[in-house]
Amino acid sequence: MSDALRTWSWFVRHPWHRLWDPNAGCGVMECCPNRPELRWILDVAVAVLPPKDARTLRKQIAALDEQW
């Protein structure tokens, strides 16, 4: 989960993130992440975490989503 959050953070902050093309990427999460798969991982993590931890993670994800 920490890798997914770190990658999502990098992805939304990267200046070219809107140019991402799933057909042209290498598929390596740290280089060319699959955006839907990455968000799915984060959503699953939120669903299985205890409520307090899930709230914290949701806030972190929401702050990153605002940059998207």
Express each pLDDT in 37-57 by its tens digit: 888 999 999 999 999 999 999
Structural domain containing residue 23: 2-67
- Asked if residues 5 and 29 have their Cβ atoms less than 8 Å apart, the reply is no
pTM of the model: 0.72
Number of structural domains in the chain: 1
Residue whose structure tokens are 């931890």: 53
Is the pLDDT reported for residue 16 higher than 90? no
- Asked if residues 45 and 68 have their Cβ atoms less than 8 Å apart, the reply is no
3-state helix, strand, coil in the chain (%, to 5): 70, 0, 30
pLDDT of residue 3: 86
**Could you give the CA distance from residue 47 to residue 40 in angstroms, rounded to a whole number?**
10
User: Which pLDDT tens digit goes with each residue over 17-32?
Assistant: 656 666 766 767 667 7
Q: pLDDT grade, residue 10 (50/70/90)?
A: confident
Shortest CA distance to 3 belongs to which of 34, 30, 22? 30
